[in-house]
Structure 1
């Protein structure tokens, strides 16, 4: 089956992804894959999985986490949601539900089914933003490490990739404890984003 998908035209493959039902039995609100993708994208954003608000609207990072992420990148919503410039592929494409301490992890079936098939088509990507522990584990080489350790070693994979903490308001304490992140990393990120896709139209 994988080989047949790999030979599909890109638009047809994306259509199959948007109709995916492999996790349906485990999803409390049913399947609704939320991705943003184009073969011309030069930046790839890799998050965890859609939250409830993203599931309801079908728009990735359409929440306070997205507001902070766009601020980190130094771009506006129009630029962020321009699929010609920026692709968004979370580790799980559907809302997994909520547990005792927040949203559940991405469903484990999703990434093995679709991730490599889509990533190999994104030949123009020059910067991948790798957000949170599940994305770190998939995309970054080396032994297992905490999110903080990965982010501190960001220059090891820069400028092709950048490990980030999750921009969720739940991480406000992490940001206060690690001021170096916004002082040292964010200016470099904003400069790189501007190089690749330009400033916001109003700039």
Structure 2
């Protein structure tokens, strides 16, 4: 899987947005709340339109996303689009998918490797306000343990694996928990073949259904 940023660069702010959402997105992108903790400085990454029927809530941008300002513009995004069976143009159409991470900026790395968790300030500060501008969302993809912790709360199972395996339980409320598509989870995917056999077909069908309504 090539680990290169995409050459496909859509408009950051597509035309025809709701003015209130435009102002809110501008406020999010100007946020400097946790600037002192960010090794590469702030560059909040978020993308959405009022009409979006599908919402993707991931973790936090990596370094390649920080460089381009385009969410999921890396190898993890390649895998996610493969899971969704979406082209770049479809994925980056905010009228189809809203993209709102748990942390809007690159948080840095652990000394032993791997990215730090999303900054804890982002979701409490911005998520509820942004969600009020997404009245048409029918399906929310909760990618990784941090999104699942916030949006499933005590309903989560004891492990991320078991939470994802019980995905049908959460679909009735419009949530679909998923593992992160990082290369670090390749071994997990191989160890849990039910994910590709059982969850991915449901994911693709639910996304198609949401987009067609």
Question: Which whole-Å CA distance do the structure 2 matches of 1:37 and 1:52 have between them?
Answer: 21
1-structure distance, mates of 2:88, 2:211: 13
User: In the TM superposition, what is the alpha-carbon distance from 1:74 to its structure 2 partner?
Assistant: 1.2
Matched, 1:50 2:64: no
Deviations for 1:146-193, whole angstroms, at most 9, x for unmatched residues?
110110110111151100000001001100110000001101111111
Number of the residue aligned with 1:158: 171
Counterparts of 1:62-101 in structure 2, within 5 Å, are 62-99=73-110, 100-101=112-113
Structure 2 matches for 1:1-203, cutoff 5 A?
9-99=20-110, 100-143=112-155, 145-158=158-171, 160-197=174-211
Counterparts of 1:11 and 1:58, CA distance in 2? 17
Q: So what's the TM-score if we normalise by structure 2? A: 0.86
Distance in 1 (CA, whole Å) between partners of 2:49 and 2:29 is 14
**Deviation of residue 142 (structure 1)?**
2.2
The gaps in structure 2 that reach 5 residues or longer are: 1-18
TM-score (normalised: structure 1): 0.91
Structure 1 residue 9 displacement after superposition: 1.9
1:23-61 per-residue CA deviation (whole Å, 9 max, x = no partner) reads: 100000100000111111110000000000000011100
What is the CA–CA distance in structure 1 between the aligned matches of 2:141 and 2:155, rounded to whole Å? 19
- How well do the aligned residues superpose, as a CA RMSD in angstroms? 1.3
Misfit runs of 4+, over 6 Å: none
Shift in CA distance, 56/37, structure 1 to aligned 2, threshold 3 Å:
same
